[in-house]
């Protein structure tokens, strides 16, 4: 006897089976939460390791694209292959300029830090270490004379054991870092090569991505993704441009201020701090640490105080005036909104919050403006 198929009961049975499987998966996941979390972490770690060259290539292509677009527009005739624009010349010029700029920066740093300065730096550092060693020996003799040293033997041995273990672990970490340098360099080279092709074949790649997305997704969904991608590209391009301008301004201010204060290695500290300033507040920390170290080992500790004061003042100027105006103008945000977003996201998510604060706020503003204009137009139309 053949039983008739009832779509209603088949649908109910399907939902029951799926619900049971979901409950079973949740129970198993809760019972083995630690193992599941560790497995997920290892999975994403391996995924990131494997896709590192691709990620580097995408990030580099995103950063270099405005320059490629600028040089590409300077050519009257655009070379096309299969109907797609080839941007090989603009990409090549961009790569040449970027690597030339990096080479000039390294050259300036090397010329500013001569062999004599390195030897002097090492001598002063050695003098400080000898002074610390003599101070510790003097302290040991004083404690021994007062009979206190014997009661502190256990604590001292524990500290020595902890320091020894820390040094051993540090050596292991450094050895692992040295062996991973080759992997990092290889990933960087592959990523830059991939970025070259991403940039030169941008028109073709974007067309293929849109075509594939429309083939597998509903038109409304694909249109929404395209709109979001366009908005995100506009915001992040403006944000990166603003951060680069801010980094150049801060590097110039640090170099000029340190030079005027007579602090050595002003060019080196300025260049390193400027690049570090691409991440909010990191540039100020790097400048402060480097300048204080240079001031201490240069034989004039008062210069460390001057350097610290200069960095604190410049950081306040940067966070209150330069970033709100320069970066805010790049992403079309009011300076007050920039300050509030940095404060809000920084308190919630720390350093990563400060990095994503401005572009996230700019994206939210775009969508809120869009919703506001849509509602406003509907209200006017209903009247």
Residue 76 lies in a domain: no
pLDDT in tens, the chain (383 residues): 455 555 666 667 767 777 877 776 666 666 565 665 666 667 767 777 778 888 888 888 888 887 888 787 776 455 555 555 667 788 888 888 888 888 877 776 666 555 445 555 556 556 656 666 666 666 666 666 666 555 556 665 666 566 566 656 665 665 555 556 667 778 888 888 888 888 888 878 888 888 888 878 788 888 888 888 888 888 888 888 888 888 888 888 888 888 888 877 777 778 888 777 777 667 677 777 777 777 666 656 777 788 888 888 888 888 788 888 887 888 788 778 888 887 888 787 777 777 788 888 888 888 888 888 878 777 776 66
How far apart, in whole angstroms, are the C-alpha atoms of residue 191 and residue 187? Answer: 6
Number of structural domains in the chain = 1
CA angle 141–145–147, rounded 5-degree value? 115
Residues 277, 323: Cα–Cα separation, whole Å: 11
String of DSSP letters for 20-46 = HHHHHHHHHHHHTHHHHHHHHHHHHHH
Q: Cα(44)–Cα(31) distance, rounded to whole angstroms?
A: 22
C-alpha distance across the termini of the chain, in Å: 66
> Is residue 64, in this structure, part of any structural domain at all?
no
Question: If you search the block for the tokens 């994403």, which residue do you land on?
Answer: 44
- Token couple for 87: 């941007």
Q: Which domain holds residue 258?
A: 217-383
| Matching residue, tokens 């709109």 | 227
The verdict on residue 57 lying in a domain is no
Best CA proximity match to 36, nearest among 48, 46, 25, 47: 25
Residue 231: inside a domain, yes or no?
yes
Closest CA to 291 of 275, 308, 271: 308
Question: Does residue 374 lie within any of the structural domains?
Answer: yes
Q: Which two tokens stand for residue 262?
A: 């007579």
pLDDT of residue 115: 47
DSSP-assigned letter for residue 74: T
Q: Does residue 280 contact residue 262 with C-beta atoms inside 8 Å?
A: no
What are 65's strand-pairing partners? Answer: none
List helix spans (H) across 201-218: 202-216
In a domain? residue 164: no
3-state secondary structure of 84: strand
| C-alpha span between 136 and 143 (Å, rounded) | 11
Is residue 245 in a domain?
A: yes
- Indicate the pTM of the whole model: 0.64
What is the rounded distance in angstroms from the CA atom of residue 359 to the CA atom of residue 234? Answer: 10
Six-digit token string for 319? 């966070």
**What pLDDT, on a 0 to 100 scale, did the predictor assign at position 116?**
47
| 102 vs 86: CA distance, rounded Å | 26
Q: Which segments within the chain are labelled E, that is strand? A: 80-81, 84-85
The conformation of residue 85, written as its DSSP 8-state character, comes to E
Q: Is residue 282 part of a domain?
A: yes
What is the separation of C-alpha 194 from the centre of its chain, rounded to a whole number of angstroms?
A: 20
């Amino acid at each position: 006897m053949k039983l008739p198929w009832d779509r209603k009961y088949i649908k109910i049975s399907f939902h029951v089976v799926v619900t049971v499987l979901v409950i079973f998966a949740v129970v198993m996941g809760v019972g083995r939460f630690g193992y599941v979390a560790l497995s997920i972490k290892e999975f994403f770690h391996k995924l990131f390791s494997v896709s590192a060259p691709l990620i580097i290539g995408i990030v580099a292509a995103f950063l270099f694209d405005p320059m490629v677009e600028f040089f590409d527009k300077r050519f009257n005739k655009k070379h096309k292959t299969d109907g797609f624009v080839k941007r090989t010349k603009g990409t090549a010029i961009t790569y040449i300029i970027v690597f030339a700029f990096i080479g000039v920066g390294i050259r300036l740093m090397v010329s500013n830090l001569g062999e004599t300065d390195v030897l002097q730096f090492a001598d002063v550092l050695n003098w400080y270490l000898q002074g610390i060693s003599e101070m510790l020996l003097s302290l040991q003799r004083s404690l021994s004379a007062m009979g206190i040293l014997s009661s502190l033997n256990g604590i001292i041995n524990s500290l020595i054991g902890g320091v020894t273990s820390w040094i051993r672990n540090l050596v292991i970490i450094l050895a692992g870092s040295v062996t991973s340098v080759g992997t990092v360099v290889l990933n960087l080279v592959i990523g830059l090569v991939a970025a070259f092709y991403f940039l030169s074949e941008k028109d073709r790649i974007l067309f293929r991505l849109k075509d594939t997305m429309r083939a597998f997704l509903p038109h409304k969904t694909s249109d929404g993704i395209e709109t979001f991608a366009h908005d995100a590209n506009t915001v992040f391009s403006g944000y990166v441009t603003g951060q680069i301008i801010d980094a150049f301004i801060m590097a110039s201010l640090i170099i000029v201020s340190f030079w005027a204060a007579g602090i050595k290695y002003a060019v080196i500290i300025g260049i390193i701090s400027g690049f570090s300033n691409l991440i909010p507040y990191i540039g100020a920390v790097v400048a402060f640490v480097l300048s204080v170290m240079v001031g201490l080992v240069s034989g004039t500790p008062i210069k460390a105080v001057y350097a610290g004061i200069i960095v604190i003042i410049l950081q306040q100027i940067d966070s209150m005036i330069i970033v709100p105006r320069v970066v805010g103008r790049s992403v079309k945000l009011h300076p007050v909104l920039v300050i509030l977003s940095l404060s809000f996201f920084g308190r919630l998510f720390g350093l990563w919050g400060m990095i994503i604060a401005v572009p996230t706020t700019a994206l939210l503003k775009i969508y809120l403006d869009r919703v506001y204009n849509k509602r406003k137009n509907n209200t006017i139309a209903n009247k």
